[in-house]
Amino acid sequence: MAIGRRKPGEPIYQRRHIIALALAVGLPVVLLQLYKIYVGPVSFGAQMGFGILVSVLAGIILYFTYRSSAQNQP
């Protein structure tokens, strides 16, 4: 097997998949920081709850959006 080639059955991810994943991971942090700047302080429990909620929702959206384009290589 040549160097840099995918293994059989390994999903094919495109650049847009990686960008969307980075956005889903960074979105809760950015939104919380913006809230702190413009509204005010937030308790730690609220930060954790919001972060988990946004991350789970973003993960579900990513799954349904990109599952057809992340095909397995034959």
Specify the number of domains making up the chain.
Answer: 1
Q: Is the pLDDT of residue 2 over 60?
A: no
Give pLDDT, residue 11. 64
Residue 74, domain member (yes or no)? no
Residue 4, domain member (yes or no)? no
Q: Is the pLDDT of residue 74 over 80?
A: no
Residue 5, domain member (yes or no)? no
Buried b (16+ CB within 10 A) or exposed e, 36-74: eeeeeeeeeeebeeeeeebeeebeeebeeebeeeeeeee
Residue 3, domain member (yes or no)? no
Q: What is the pLDDT of residues 6-52, one digit of tens each?
A: 666 666 666 777 787 788 888 888 888 888 899 888 888 988 888 88
Residue 26, domain member (yes or no)? yes
